[in-house]
A = this chain, B = another copy of it.
Amino acid sequence: MPKYAANDLSRSVEDYLKVIYHLTESGESASTTAIADVLDLAAPSVSGMIKRLAEAGLAEHQPYKGVTLTKDGRHAALRMLRRHRVIETYLVSHLGYTWDNVHDEAEKLEHAVSEDLVERLSRALGDPRFDPHGDPIPAADGQIVDVSTTPLPDIPVGESVTISRVDTGSAERLRWLAGAGLVPGVRITMLDHQPFNGPVTVSLNGARRVVGRELAEQLLCTRPE
């Protein structure tokens, strides 16, 4: 018999679940310190919350080894992710926000919107599958598509690719990228790699763009065929 999904988690719990979800996406478990860093909290506060999450059946904790989400916890985290990304998309396409300033607003709203409102927002948008940063929006049932992408610096010279995802939360970087036209959906061709972690040069619509290595790593591309 499935447990009733606890649908009334506190704001804090929701935030922890989201962070743990992100930290464990690559398979490893999330450490206390890593969580504390992201949420800007003291480590003991995180220790305490991890215990509560485990008791609530949302997370599994191996003391001193880290924490992972249970099925319930992952489900709740995906619900938050859906909310966040639907809200961001709506704010950008219907209320004049730009992709560099939606994050904070969505961060607050995602804890306040009802299931119903999220679905209305999604429908008003035509049930988009990606948000303005190219991040996939989980479906209402928690399904999330897994697009295989390659960081821009790993693209060989001469190859043409499509930018599919921009993996930074930095408003400054997002603004610069938007100004340079380097946004999801755009087709670019790799022209040059400089060695020793130097910049890469790409062309888009005939124009040249030089992008520093660190930023280029955050431009995730889909390769042809």
Cβ of A105 within 8 Å of any chain B Cβ, yes or no, is: yes
**A105 contacts across to B, CB distance below 8 A:** 113-114, 116-117
Q: Are B112 and A95 in contact (CB under 8 A)?
A: no
Q: Are B114 and A95 in contact (CB under 8 A)?
A: no
Given contacts A95-B120, A120-B96, contact A112 B109 (CB under 8 A): yes
CA distance A124 to B114 in the complex (A): 22
Q: Are A112 and B108 in contact (CB under 8 A)?
A: yes
Cβ of A121 within 8 Å of any chain B Cβ, yes or no, is: yes
Q: Are B120 and A114 in contact (CB under 8 A)?
A: no
Cβ of A111 within 8 Å of any chain B Cβ, yes or no, is: yes
**A121 contacts across to B, CB distance below 8 A:** 95
Q: Are B111 and A95 in contact (CB under 8 A)?
A: no
Q: Which A101-129 residues have a C-beta within 8 angstroms of B?
A: 104-105, 108-109, 111-114, 116-117, 120-121, 124
Q: Shortest beta-carbon distance, A123 to chain B, in Å?
A: 9
CA distance A108 to B104 in the complex (A): 17
**B94, B113, B124: the one within 8 Å of A109 (CB):** B113
